[in-house]
Amino acid sequence: MDKIVVEGGVPLRGSVDVSGAKNAALPVIAAALLAEGDHVVRNVPDLADVRTLGKLLGHMGCAVERSAAARAMSLRVPAAVRPEAPYELVKTMRASVLVLGPLVARWGKARVSLPGGCAIGARPIDQHLKGLTALGAEIRLEHGYVEATAPRGRLRGAVFTFDGQTVTGTENVMMAAALADGRSVLRNCAREPEVADLAAALVRMGARIEGAGTDELRIEGVSTLRPLDHTVIPDRIEAGTFLVAGALPGGDVTVAGCVPAHLEALLEKLRAVGAEIAEVRGGLRVVGDGRPRPVDVKTAPHPGFPTDMQAQLMVLLCLAEGSSKITETVFENRFMHVQELQRLGGDIAVDGKIAIVKGVPVLSGAPVMASDLRASAALVLAALAARGTTEIQRVYHLDRGYERIEQKLAPLGARIRREKT
Ligand code: EPU
């Protein structure tokens, strides 16, 4: 197992490139199941989660190849696959559930392990199942698996309203509706850029989808789709993590290749803490001057402040001149980084969904443990800001969502390295 060692207290300066978005690549790779033939997904980050999904498609009978140089994944999807996602693969990555919609839409049956709980909360998939049921799927839960069948092999279009906004739920039902008989209207859909990117990929495959990026998707089902060739959008959460690094006192970081429009809620908060932000060619430059000002933040579905940036912003607020209130409304248990930030000297009190962060002038390095993906990113940021040495254990969480983070941060002046434990 690896650990990350950081000698902190050095402000970051320079330019860093953003990789393709994990959460856009995963649904687009799953969408390949909707059409027979040779698919190419470009700008795919080399991450553990992407490899797991590749393995899952391989298990089903697809030929999956990754070209590191081209940052692409090629998939050959045969006429028939084994429509099954086993527990061993799903348990390591909840997003495996994204194969459910494509499988049942294309082959009329699917057997996908229930993902179970995860560190950030219960994370049910009831809305995925309700949406697929509305499209005519018959769903049984047996032996820990979702068994879904489409009567006579085809789903049928329907009007469906999600009870609450769900990113992968919207993606699953949208993919299924793209191959259903007739018209679907999906309401209260997630509006995240990753959902819109999947819709764009599906449209290029021949799907008829209107309303991408809004909360209502209107989908005219088609009988077959063609293979996809799609370039996934830049990772707004990776970009956001680097922007926070630049906003730390003394920082001056240009995040190249990001899409400012995807980052508005974060940029608003970064400006509020006093960071200077400028759009530069092909990216954003952020300059963090002195200590940040405190701000209140409430996470919400897009275009609200992303829950996936909550932990990272908390690091900045740990150093603010005053008290900030962070309210987490998307997940029930997403303050696990708090305990570890306290070990670094953060003054944070949590009461249910609310964290009160009292800024301190300095953080100090200590051994810490990563608990989930975004919590790990927050620990890296805190370690960069802290005086002294921080060792972060359980780096595999970080590797699920950040490509070579130490190699991207080192050229900015970070004293960061990976070591075997
Ligand atoms: N929810 C339900 N029922 C459902 C689905 C969701 O009650 O059927 C609830 C969840 O429990 C949660 C809320 O709805 O409270 C929102 O969850 P959502 O379904 O939107 O999350 P997700 O699709 O499972 C994706 C990202 C997450 C990101 C969330 C929120 C992918 C692969 N994952 O998860 O990314 O936090 O949306 O934006 O797209 C990460 O990358 O670190 C990560 C956790």
Write the pLDDT tens digit of every residue in 66-120.
Answer: 988 779 999 999 999 999 999 998 888 889 999 999 999 999 999 999 886 566 6
Task: Give the integer Cα–Cα distance in Å for 28 and 98.
Answer: 9
Q: Would you call the peptide bond into 303 cis, given omega within 30 degrees of 0 as the criterion? A: yes
Cβ of 374 less than 6 Å from ligand 1:
yes
**How confident is the model over 12-24, as pLDDT tens digits?**
999 999 999 999 9
Q: State pLDDT tens for residues 29-76.
A: 999 999 999 999 999 999 999 999 999 999 999 999 998 877 999 999
CA neighbor of 180 nearest in space, from 251, 250, 131: 131
Q: How far is CA 406 from the centre of its chain?
A: 19
Q: How far is the CA of 177 from the centre of ligand 1 (A)?
A: 20
Confidence bin at 121 (pLDDT 50/70/90): low
Distance 347 CA to ligand 1 centre (A): 28
> 123 C-alpha to center of ligand 1: Å?
7
H helical segments located in 86-183: 87-90, 100-107, 126-134, 167-178
**CA 388, CA 142: separation in Å to the nearest integer?**
52
**Residue whose entry in the numeric block shows the structure tokens 């993919």:** 175
Q: Does residue 330 have its Cβ closer than 6 Å to ligand 1?
A: yes
Quick one: average pLDDT of 200-229?
A: 98
Condensed to tens digits (0 to 9), the pLDDT of residues 290-344 reads: 899 999 999 999 999 999 999 999 999 999 999 999 999 999 889 999 999 999 9
Q: 62 catalytic, yes or no?
A: no
| pLDDT for residue 299 | 98
pTM of the model: 0.97
Buried b (16+ CB within 10 A) or exposed e, 101-130: bbbbbbbbbbbbbbbeeeebeebebebbbb
Per the CB < 8 A criterion, the answer to whether 374 and 341 are in contact is: no
Strand-by-strand arrangement of the 2-8 sheet: 367-369, 388-393, 2-8, 415-420
Nearest alpha-carbon partner for 128 in 173, 158, 87, 96 = 173
pLDDT in tens, 382-406: 999 999 999 999 998 999 999 989 9
**Ligand 1 contact, 290 CB (< 6 A):** no
Angle among Cα 355, 358, 359 to the nearest 5 degrees reads 130
Tally Cβ neighbours within 10 Å of residue 149: 18
What's the mean pLDDT in 276-292? 94
| Alpha-carbon gap, residue 382 to 392, rounded angstroms | 11
DSSP-derived letter for residue 228 is: P
Mean pLDDT of 342-354: 97
Query: How far apart are alpha carbons 310 and 327 in whole angstroms?
Result: 9
Rounded Cα distance, 402 and 373, in Å? 9
Rg for the chain (alpha carbons), in Å? Answer: 21
